Amino acid sequence: MFEGLAGRLQDAFKKLGGKGKLSEADIEEALREVRVALLEADVNYKVVRKFTEDVKVRAIGQEVFQSLTPAQQVIKIVNEEMISLMGSTSSKINMSTDGITVIALAGLQGSGKTTAAGKLARRFVHEGRSPLLVAADIYRPAAITQLQVLGTSINVPVFTMGTDVSPVNICKAAVEHASKNGNDPVIIDTAGRLHIDAQLMQEMRDIKRQINPTEILFVADAMTGQDAVNVAKEFNDTLDIDGVILTKLDGDARGGAALSIKAVTGKPIKLVGVGEKLDALEEFHPDRMASRILGMGDVLTLIEKAEAAIDEEKAKELEKKIVEQRGLTLDDFLDQLQQLKKMGSLEQLVEMIPGLSGAGNLQIDESKLKQTEAIIRSMTIQERQNSRIINGSRRMRISKGSGTTVQEVNMVLKQFDQMNKMVKQFADTGKKGKKFKRRFSFPFMN
């Protein structure tokens, strides 16, 4: 995510860090590199110009020159201005206080509206709500079927009246159906086009006038950069949207849409799609995103992912084992791998770790996790409980069963032994009166 931009910005700031004092020329040179990096990232030209001007005004003032660490102060200013650019604070979806919440998703064909509708419905289910999905796209082949398949997978009902009824009448009937059946919120998957046209905009205006949705969210494909921003502006000018769902952010190497859309439309990014799975829809936090772009990690999101993925009962049992120095088993090791996989892709997780974010020389190999899992699953129950009995012939059998080499089996066992030694050190630290912390080691970095 934003790999090129993050690398360019971090390189610019490294040059500043090597200087004890900064001159105005130093700052201007760094900002020139920042300007080029943002433009190459497909950030709107007017947005880039205002951003760099705002940073310069602050950076050449007393705020930097009287600082003991001027380079860090410049980075702090860039961070704050970047947060401001993306909206300062996270914006939640507005929920109706006097009736059913109706959310209409708008956007061009191919932006990911239907998938976003399914992901959004899943979020509401996990919040304890009973959403209703509405198939109002009567033009795109298989759009209704796609929404029905998504609804079935998350156990959410889908309201449809086929393709012979107008989208406006479908939406009106859906709201009445939700009112009678206790569904809230109603999520409408509207039709898109390959490009903006008069029919599309009129249809959206009619839907807005007839059902008065609580929220109109524009769904934009982050990977289309400035095209997404320009289309968002046209939709906003016509419909006065309430916010943006930015899809495919995990595949966006540049970042132009994320950094421009709020400044151009005045409307916040509320949610972002960060993967293909239905749970890969997250709240957008400008401060966390700016921190990741500047290589400072995103610890809060990392903690939230860990809390959602970790099985508390298993974690307590594991901690008890560590404290009592009973030693961990390969089953414990496998449990850790399973919980790590639940947290998302390794590349995304590493981006959130301060000091590792933007580290281009760090090789992340997702296949190592699958390989380690296969090796452990090829062991007997006795071997997982007591790795010391795994001799040469057993290693040969395990390697054949897992489709790996004996050397790869040896590497997993070595990593497991290292983890157990580290765990013993932590337990010893706890016995000496220092606060015990739960830590894990994973085989995914080369």
**What is the per-residue pLDDT for 438?**
41
**What is the per-residue pLDDT for 103?**
96
The rounded radius of gyration (Å) of the Cα atoms in the chain is 26
Print the SS3 string covering 394-443: HHHHHHHHHCCCHHHHHHHHHHHHHHHHHHHHHHHHHHCCCCCCCCCCCC
Determine if the pTM surpasses 0.85: no
**What is the per-residue pLDDT for 317?**
65
Structure-token pair, residue 190: 């509207």
Q: Is residue 350 within 8 Å of residue 357, measured between CB atoms? A: yes
**What is the per-residue pLDDT for 303?**
58
Query: Between 3.40.50.300, 3.60.15.10, 3.10.400.10, 3.40.190.10, what CATH number should domain 102-301 receive?
Result: 3.40.50.300
**What is the per-residue pLDDT for 416?**
85
Rounded to whole angstroms, how far apart are CA atoms 124 and 118? Answer: 10
**What is the per-residue pLDDT for 16?**
77
- Give the dihedral sign, CA 416/417/422/428: positive
Answer whether CATH 1.20.120.140 is correct for domain 3-86: yes
Rounded to whole angstroms, how far apart are CA atoms 270 and 256? Answer: 16
Domain 310-431 class in CATH:
mainly alpha
Spell out the domain ranges in the chain: 3-86, 102-301, 310-431
**What is the per-residue pLDDT for 124?**
96
**What is the per-residue pLDDT for 183?**
95
Chain CA centroid to CA 86, Å = 15
Those residues with Cβ within 8 angstroms of residue 159's Cβ, 6 or more apart along the chain or in another chain: 132, 133, 134, 135, 170, 173, 174, 177, 178
**What is the per-residue pLDDT for 296?**
64
pLDDT in tens, the chain (446 residues): 677 788 888 888 877 776 667 788 888 888 899 899 899 888 899 999 999 999 988 888 766 666 657 777 788 888 889 999 998 888 899 999 888 999 999 999 888 999 999 999 999 999 999 999 999 999 888 899 999 999 999 999 999 998 899 999 999 999 999 999 999 999 999 988 777 888 888 999 999 999 999 999 999 998 888 888 999 999 999 999 999 999 988 877 677 888 899 999 999 999 999 888 898 899 998 988 888 787 765 455 555 555 555 556 666 665 666 555 566 788 888 877 777 766 666 666 656 555 545 544 445 566 788 888 899 999 999 998 888 899 999 999 999 999 999 999 998 898 888 877 776 665 565 554 444 444 444 444 44
**What is the per-residue pLDDT for 425?**
67
Q: Is residue 278 within 8 Å of residue 119, measured between CB atoms? A: yes
- Give the dihedral sign, CA 158/162/168/174: negative
Rounded to whole angstroms, how far apart are CA atoms 372 and 367? Answer: 9
**What is the per-residue pLDDT for 380?**
93
